[in-house]
Structure 1
Amino acid sequence: MMSIRSIEEVEQINNIINQIDGTRKVKTFKKRENPFSLYSDEEFRIKYRFSKDGVRFLNELFGSSLTMSKHIHGLTQQSVTTVCRRVARAILDKRFNYIKMPNNLNEQLIMMQEFETLAGFKNVVVCSASLKIMNVVAHWRGSTHDSRILNESLLKESFENGQYHGRLLGDSGYACTPYLFTPLLNPTTRKEELYNYAHIRTRNSIERCFRVWKNRFRCLLTEFRTNLENTKMYIVALALLHNIAIELNEHFADNEHVTENEHLSQPPIAPLQQNTLRGSAVRAIIIEENF
């Protein structure tokens, strides 16, 4: 027969077990909501940077690769990361359809005419006048200077081989070449002043492009916390989505803070690279004949 002491010990053990069971976490599952029904049109656009119709278009464009992201609410962080990688790869499969330089002379002429209407600068190819990204290189670290990236790019090779008839505009961090014009550091004539004004105003398109892109996808304003390979993939994917958003006329309130002429008063900085003699000569001819 169990002793009184043994019974008390058993009761104490049972009390301890009950206390443990009471503090033990019960596994719960987050409810997965459908954002199309959960949010209003405006809330949806602000949260996902696309309208509901825009997201439906993306779903049709990228097909089954996006189906698993439709109910992303309630997933674990690891699952979200897996979804992001899979969707980014699906987006990159379409990159040559949406991130591209003009394919032929007619497309180049149209683009150059669009830029000429901005400030009278002829034969310029920067980004598109509608702020689309036409070329992206994402395999360099952020500390790499822009001029080095250009010097080792296929884009530079294409311009030097005469594939493009227009010109690029860059700040004084680049060397002035026959296909890339930089501003004059110390303009002394009215023509040179007009050239600098037109240069800055036209090149402002790419500055606005970057601002619209970063305001549309706010993660570009902060440091990515993903590994380098995933980061490069995400940057290109976001550039492609930016171009699609422009094609779909997807606007959002952040665009209102991007002013067209915010850089016009900034003087050119001292050159970081030696201008080529031929580049300076061609620039001087263009200034004399067009301004």
Structure 2
Amino acid sequence: MDDIKIFQRFLKDVRHLRDFEYFKHLDHSRINRNKRRQICKVKPRRPRFNPMEEMNEIEFRKKYRYTKENMRRIIEIVRDDLEVDYYEPMKRNQVPIDLQILSAIRFFGGTEHPQLTAMAHGVSLHTMAKITRRVAAVLSSKASRYIRMPATLSEKERMMRSFQYLSNMPQVIGAVVQTTVRLQLENRGGYSGTELAATNEELVHLQLVADAEHKIRDLDIRLPEELGHNTAPELFSLSRIKERFEQNEFRGRILLGNESLSCSHFLFTPVRNPKNKSEDLYNQAHSVTYAPAVKCLNYWIRRFGILSRELLGTFGSAKHTITALALLHNMAMEWNDPSIDSDISLPIYKPNIFCYANGATISEEQRNRNEFIKTHFSSN
């Protein structure tokens, strides 16, 4: 037994000796050269582009759609929530929070191809998509603070006065305008990790309630399958704002709508075939008072170019993005941000589908409008 143990130790010593002989004959100079070559391949990382410091004010406003001062406000509002909700992929990419917000808003502006936006901020298109969705989700979570109808009596009175100042039309507390946004649905199964594969396109239907100061006060977002053939009236009938008016939350106040909507006791549309001067005066006042809603929509689309192009992703991510853009628009209006020139001729807004209500020519709702015209626009 002792002889066996001695022999095993001898074999182990032989193996150690062979290892030592192999190490002696190695080309150490070659190993050192390979190590130096590997070290040389690791280039020092360049500091990331900082647009707040490296771009002048005019250039910054053109690319980011806000002044630097207002952009700092947005960053302060969003930063803490992004730091709390910090996903693991973003940690690996090491994109600073401020740069995430800046890149997302530049992407929303649609001033250039998304690939150029990603390259300008030192990220891939894949990472850019993740960043924009995260920023949009955080912004949309704050919607109730920035997108809301007036709640107090003083707020309601102030809003009605701002509308009445335009063309002396009383009781108006908002104007309804509708449009569509294209959505390219993302194919999760065909996602390669380097580019976003898409399969089919949807039209997302939007309904805004705007005030006289071009702010969005209410927002409804729906897919076509939720709506009937008469898209515009159906979209309004399903909206939360209609329910709130039917519950008398805004008793004694009215909304204005265009010809695509059906007249009701709280939603007044233009008279299609005016028969007297009073109805002509009403239509003129309606047109002037309704105009801020059209301008609001066009200001919004011009500031955020992706709304006139195409959103990419799921319907849920599209809702977050649209809501976030409405919130950002309201911030710009509140801060009087001059980054888009409001004096440039605006494109003419046209409703998606003109759908006229069927039935009797004079309904109970139209009688309410007729009484309103007789009271406030009588030519006698």
How far is the alpha carbon of 1:204 from its aligned partner? 1.1
Pairs within 5 Å for 1:190-201: 190-201=277-288
Which residue in the other structure is 2:326 paired with? Answer: 239
How far is the alpha carbon of 1:68 from its aligned partner? 2.4
Which residue in the other structure is 2:97 paired with? Answer: 68
* 1:252 aligned onto 2:339: yes
Which residue in the other structure is 2:126 paired with? Answer: 78
1:176–1:276 contact (8 Å) kept in structure 2 = no
Report the Cα distance in structure 2 between the residues aligned to 1:27 and 1:80, rounded to whole angstroms.
24
Per-residue Cα deviation, 1:220-267 (whole angstroms, up to 9, x for no partner): 11122333221111001000000011111101344222469x78xxxx
How far is the alpha carbon of 1:107 from its aligned partner? 1.2
Choose between structure 1 and 2 for higher RCO, CA contacts under 8 A separated by at least 6 residues.
Answer: 1
Which consecutive unaligned segments of at least 5 residues does structure 1 have? 1-25, 264-268
Report the Cα distance in structure 2 between the residues aligned to 1:142 and 1:42, rounded to whole angstroms.
44
Report the Cα distance in structure 2 between the residues aligned to 1:91 and 1:270, rounded to whole angstroms.
34
Which residue in the other structure is 1:129 paired with? Answer: 212
- Structure 2 CA distance for partners of 1:120 and 1:279, relative to 1, 3 Å: same
Higher strand share: 2
Moved more, 32-41 or 57-66: 57-66
* 1:207 aligned onto 2:294: yes
Report the Cα distance in structure 2 between the residues aligned to 1:205 and 1:164, rounded to whole angstroms.
20
1:175–1:273 contact (8 Å) kept in structure 2 = no
- Structure 2 CA distance for partners of 1:248 and 1:121, relative to 1, 3 Å: same
**Paired letter, 1:120:** N
SS in 2 for 1:162: coil
Which residue in the other structure is 2:54 paired with? Answer: 38
2:233–2:355 contact (8 Å) kept in structure 1 = no
Report the Cα distance in structure 2 between the residues aligned to 1:236 and 1:222, rounded to whole angstroms.
16
Report the Cα distance in structure 1 between the residues aligned to 2:122 and 2:287, rounded to whole angstroms.
47
Which residue in the other structure is 1:58 paired with? Answer: 74
2:75–2:98 contact (8 Å) kept in structure 1 = no
How many aligned residue pairs are there?
260
Per-residue Cα deviation, 1:56-104 (whole angstroms, up to 9, x for no partner): 1011111231752516501111111111111112111211000000112
Which consecutive unaligned segments of at least 5 residues does structure 2 have? 1-41, 84-95, 104-120, 175-209
Moved more, 121-130 or 232-241: 121-130
2:256–2:267 contact (8 Å) kept in structure 1 = yes
SS in 2 for 1:135: strand
**Paired letter, 2:167:** A
Per-residue Cα deviation, 1:91-132 (whole angstroms, up to 9, x for no partner): 112110000001122211111111001011111122221100
Report the Cα distance in structure 2 between the residues aligned to 1:146 and 1:98, rounded to whole angstroms.
25
Pairs within 5 Å for 1:68-147: 68-70=97-99, 72=103, 73-126=121-174, 127-141=210-224, 145-147=231-233
SS in 2 for 1:151: helix
Report the Cα distance in structure 1 between the residues aligned to 2:153 and 2:259, rounded to whole angstroms.
28
Q: In angstroms, what is the RMSD of aligned CA positions?
A: 2.6
SS in 1 for 2:154: helix
Report the Cα distance in structure 2 between the residues aligned to 1:219 and 1:143, rounded to whole angstroms.
24
Q: Share of identical aligned residues, percent?
A: 30
**Paired letter, 2:99:** K
**Paired letter, 2:356:** P
Pairs within 5 Å for 1:141-220: 141=224, 145-165=231-251, 166-220=253-307
Which residue in the other structure is 2:181 paired with? Answer: none
1:30–1:74 contact (8 Å) kept in structure 2 = no
SS in 1 for 2:260: coil
SS in 1 for 2:156: helix
Per-residue Cα deviation, 1:171-193 (whole angstroms, up to 9, x for no partner): 12211111001111111111110
When normalised by structure 1's length, the TM-score is 0.82
**Paired letter, 1:283:** R
**Paired letter, 1:277:** S
Report the Cα distance in structure 2 between the residues aligned to 1:82 and 1:34, rounded to whole angstroms.
20
Report the Cα distance in structure 1 between the residues aligned to 2:233 and 2:138, rounded to whole angstroms.
31
2:79–2:97 contact (8 Å) kept in structure 1 = no
1:140–1:149 contact (8 Å) kept in structure 2 = no
Report the Cα distance in structure 2 between the residues aligned to 1:220 and 1:39, rounded to whole angstroms.
26
Report the Cα distance in structure 2 between the residues aligned to 1:142 and 1:252, rounded to whole angstroms.
37
How far is the alpha carbon of 1:276 from its aligned partner? 7.1
Which residue in the other structure is 1:230 paired with? Answer: 317
Report the Cα distance in structure 1 between the residues aligned to 2:220 and 2:357, rounded to whole angstroms.
21
- Structure 2 CA distance for partners of 1:246 and 1:288, relative to 1, 3 Å: same
